């Protein structure tokens, strides 16, 4: 949790305790690091390639006195060897087409309750139970079996038939 801190300070979701983890979000979003700051952090890293039997090194601490958190960086990209890399505002290139495809497949799989595509299974429901949130979604024990209550986002059979084109309706029925 803690992702609500990236919302605007007056966003209504910051105060919706019951929708999330039971707490108001009071922390502020972290400061965005500049290319120079990231370059200073990454410059000290030496990459070890391949498998090694050595123990993992302890996480390094930030060298500047403003932030004492552990470093986010584990490896140094070869792109940092480029002279202009530290001056770029965006230092990555995401494959938007594949990201959109994966997100759409995940959303449709969850809505249509497709086997192997759903992200709302027994383990995620047990996690909710362990965190003591969303009690309406906790697994229910009936006899020797566990049942998952229908999630608010799950479509009924009639809704699936309405949603899907006629060519795919035979697969749902």
List, for residues 31-55, the tens digit of each pLDDT value.
Answer: 877 878 888 888 778 777 777 666 6
**What is the spatial distance between Cα 124 and Cα 136, in angstroms, rounded to a whole number?**
13
Task: Report percent pLDDT > 70 for the chain.
Answer: 79
CB-CB contact of 129 with 138 (8 Å): yes
DSSP 64: S
pLDDT of residue 142: 92
pLDDT single digits (tens) 131-150: 999 999 999 999 999 998 98
Q: In terms of pLDDT, which residue wins out, 62 or 56?
A: 56
In 3-state terms the chain splits into helix, strand, coil percentages (rounded to 5) of: 40, 5, 55
pLDDT single digits (tens) 66-92: 443 456 777 777 777 888 877 777 766
> Do strands 140-142 and 145-147 pair parallel, antiparallel, or not at all (unpaired)?
antiparallel
Whether 29 has a pLDDT exceeding 90, the answer reads: no
User: Residue 142 is inside which H or E element, if any?
Assistant: strand 140-142
């Amino acid at each position: 949790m803690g992702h609500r801190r990236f919302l605007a300070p007056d966003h209504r979701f910051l105060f919706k305790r019951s929708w999330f983890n039971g707490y108001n979000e009071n922390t502020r979003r972290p400061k965005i690091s500049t290319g120079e700051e990231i370059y200073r952090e990454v410059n000290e890293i030496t990459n070890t390639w391949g498998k090694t039997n050595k123990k993992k090194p302890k996480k390094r601490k930030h060298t500047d006195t403003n932030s004492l958190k552990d470093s986010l960086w584990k490896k140094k990209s070869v792109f940092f060897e480029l002279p202009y890399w530290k001056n770029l505002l965006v230092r990555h290139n995401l494959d938007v087409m594949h990201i959109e495809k994966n997100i759409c497949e995940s959303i449709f799989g969850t809505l249509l309750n497709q086997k192997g595509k759903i992200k709302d299974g027994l383990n995620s429901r047990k996690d909710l139970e362990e965190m003591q949130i969303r009690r309406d979604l906790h697994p229910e024990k009936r006899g020797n079996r566990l049942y998952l209550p229908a999630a608010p986002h799950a479509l009924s059979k009639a809704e699936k038939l309405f949603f899907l084109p006629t060519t795919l309706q035979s697969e749902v029925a």
